[in-house]
Amino acid sequence: MAVLGLPAPIFAAGPQEIAEKQADLGELRSRIEALRKQISSGEENKADAADRLRDSERQISSLQRELHDLGEQRSQLQKTLATLERQSKSLATTLDQQQVQLESLLYRQYLRGNPDALRLLLNGDDPNQTARDLHYLSVIAAARAEMMRELHGTLERKKAVAADTRERAGELQEVESAQQKRQGDLKKQRDEHKQIYARISETVSNQRKEIGTLQKDEKRMTQLVEQLSRIIAQQRAAEAARAAKAAEAARAAEAARAAEARKQRERAMARLPDEEAEVRKTPPPATEPSRPRTVEAENRLEPVANDGRFARQKGTLRLPVKGTVQGRFGGPREGGGTWRGLFIKSGAGNDVKAVAGGRVVFAEWMRGFGNLLIVDHGDAYLSIYGNNDALLKEVGQAVQGGETVATVGNSGGNPETGLYFELRHQGQPIDPMKWASLR
């Protein structure tokens, strides 16, 4: 699975800002990819048995993410088709009504006849009646022309809806075909993974119990968190500098506009009589730089991840998956060391949900933790989700609290199915149970 970059939020940015953010994204992609390689460097020669599962577990995660995305596309296309069907029925009803109205209009015109104006004048009838007849004929003709235009417009809209429906139906068929293929690929990959695990399960189990294995895994995680924290801090510093520069430019532009407005007022006053100019010497307050507008411009550029909301949720967070909490923070672990997070035993395929809003900063396979996902919540808070079957989000994607980000599994050679979960602040692990509520 490719490791993508961490983009900054893009609001109503101009072309220059977008170009800068895209450049930052490219740089961060390279840095996070280099970080991943650095952590795994040198491990190939002393490979853990669980590493033999790496490629298979990565592929399973990738296929499941594709299936998840295809499922969302399919659902959206079905909603679009349902909307188009309702529009088609509504237009058909409108078309029927317009046809009935047109038939009625034509029938009335038939009963009245269609004499031209000259014939009416030569008949010698009452001039007033003739004028009324001519007016009635003109009204009918105008109404018929308008009705024909509306009818034509309805037919064109119905034709466009039909074409759109055919196109969306074709897209839906392609998505469903892709889903079937991915499901076949996923089944094949799962069978292969099962065979590999059956052959090496005893070796994996023994290696996990070796003294020092868990300590090495924990050290690797600490290195990852520390280096991710540096990357995040550097990105935020660059964003803050860019925001300050933009705010300064906005203030300078506002000051320039105010100065120009004052010059225009002075030129206008110079053209006024002396007595009138005296009255207008004091510039109206509305032309002064507007402080609220400057603050709004600055606030728009502030990174959302720095708003500090996560810290206020202490004691109210929900654990990311339903299940039995087995490993507890600070408790002893089999194989040595203590738990730095929680292990929540849960059924394979269950949804793993983000505990709070944030942005994905890591989504890759890692020795000891399998398919691992890390979310940055701002103010140096990170949540960590390990041993997943599938990672449904990629680096750089924003997530909301309660949004599904992964599915439960036992990747990384874990003998039990469940989720390994950590919270970290400024790189240090903190007890999730002091933040989460089970009731």
- List 424's β-bridge partners, or say none: 382, 429
59-98 pLDDT, tens digit per residue, is 899 898 999 988 888 888 888 888 888 888 888 888 788 7
Amino acid at 275: E
| Residue 92 pLDDT | 84
SS3 call for 2: coil
| Residue 384 pLDDT | 96
122-172 pLDDT, tens digit per residue, is 555 556 655 665 566 666 677 777 877 887 888 888 888 888 888 888 888
pLDDT at 53 over 60: yes
Give Cβ neighbours of residue 377 (< 8 Å, ≥ 6 apart).
305, 309, 310, 356, 357, 358, 383
Compute the average pLDDT of residues 365-391.
92
Q: Which of 304, 227, 282 is nearest to 8 (CA)?
A: 304
Indicate the helix (H) or strand (E) that contains 235: helix 213-270
Compute the average pLDDT of residues 295-318.
54
280-292 pLDDT, tens digit per residue, is 454 544 444 443 3
Inter-residue contact 305 to 376 (CB < 8 Å): yes
| Residue 41 pLDDT | 58
Q: Which residue has the higher pLDDT, 351 or 277?
A: 351
Cα 411 to Cα 368: distance, rounded to the nearest angstrom: 9
Compute the average pLDDT of residues 216-228.
84
